[in-house]
Homo-oligomer: A and B are copies of this chain.
Amino acid sequence: MAEYFERVLTDAATNVYEERYEVSSENFLGEAAPPWRMTKFRLHGGKQDGVDVVEMDNGELTVVLLPTRGMGILEAYTSELSLGWQSPVRQVVHPAHVDEETCGGLGWLEGFNEFICRCGPAYHGDPGPDMVPTNTGALHQVTLPLHGTIANTPAARVAVRVRPRPPYELSVVGEVYDTRMFGTCYRMESVVSTVPGSSEFAISDTIENLGGTPSELELLYHCNYGPPLLGEGAQVLAPVEYVCPRDQHTLEESGSWDTYGAPEAGYAERCYFLRLHGDENGKTVVALVTPDGSRAATIRYSVQQLPAFTMWKNTAAEADGYVTGLEPGTDYPNSRRFERERGRVVELPPGGTYETKLRLAVVSDPQKVAKLRDEVDSLVRDKPSEVAAALDPDYCPDA
């Protein structure tokens, strides 16, 4: 028996496609792993018609992946807690129903309801003008729409992978091709994996420039949390080196940047741009802690891979999406032109790759939450930590 069991569910290159598939610990009798199950199915009807879903249930935590939406993660949940949020967007929206260009480049918002969706890879952030090459090699100005293309690009290859003996592991592997003639050409290989019985999962992405010339890369992980984690008095824990409010009305609230208010109809989003401290290897952790301090969700990653952190505070009415985004990125979600001018846009050579790894977990025990506070404190101890007192032109287009 091979070390891994792998089953290809979609492969555009060979026209393999499984509409339904299920594999579980019952298929590996004799192994001592806790019970687990991976299920693949297709959604039908409404705006979700034709969307493929893979559920990875490790016995404790279930991660729901969306190959059709760029390997995004719709939600993750245990029997006690759900990670994700209630967006006004009610169905999983097939990319065919999303026109990024509508509403002045905000069309991406018509499909936005995942727990985690990637933004990028050629650009992310607010719509804004930028120069891009045409077929003739000349540059022309276009308005790049919000948050890029990858969340609306179906994966060309999807497989489930199982390591049925210690160290046990379940994975969903996806390949997304985001390519065009005379434009940026990226391949993302994403591996989302979890250990049976654990309350965490990991995202390991490798982005490759398939093109023959250097290419700009922007990548942001839009990790979105709503109730029950989010609530009045919920708090973000982060080893802050620097916090900068994005705009004037964010600045006015920046004294309480790390805590959340109750849902408030008409609340206009606040957005903070952060630099975080990491340990000697660059590893950092951020967390969202419930109002009563008893539970938390964490994101662990490397500030070397993802040096920019954005905190999106959108405590609007529940009907309008009461949510916060904790968003590690290569850079900040301003227009690409603004980020390029600050030297924050990655340039990948032909064949070059960029790797990211994030680990996301649920912490359900107050003592572990206390330890988490200690861990965050220790990352920032004896190091500079500043909240900007004014808009900083290195971060804020409005400054």
Given A47-B156, A96-B96, A211-B320, A101-B104 contact (CB < 8 Å): no
What separation, in Å, do the CA atoms of A237 and B287 have in the docked complex?
67
Select one of B49, B181, B247 contacting A109, CB under 8 A. Answer: B181
Select one of B52, B90, B99, B180 contacting A179, CB under 8 A. Answer: B90
Shortest CB-to-CB span from A178 to chain B, Å, is 10
Interface of A is mostly: loop
Interface: A46 (CB within 8 A): yes
Q: Interface 1/0s, chain A 162-192, versus B by CB < 8 A? A: 0000000000000001011111010000000
Interface: A17 (CB within 8 A): yes
Interface pick from A57-65, A129-137, A193-201:
A129-137
Shortest CB-to-CB span from A127 to chain B, Å, is 9
Interface: A306 (CB within 8 A): no
Given A104-B134, A156-B47, A210-B319, A181-B89 contact (CB < 8 Å): yes
Q: Interface 1/0s, chain A 228-268, versus B by CB < 8 A? A: 00000000000000000001010000000000000101101
Interface core residue of A90, A104, A106, A180 (most chain B CB under 10 Å): A180
Contacts of A12 in B (CB 8 A): 43, 45-48, 90-91
Tell me if A96 and B97 are in contact (CB < 8 A). Answer: yes
Interface: A103 (CB within 8 A): yes
What separation, in Å, do the CA atoms of A177 and B44 have in the docked complex?
15
Shortest CB-to-CB span from A38 to chain B, Å, is 17
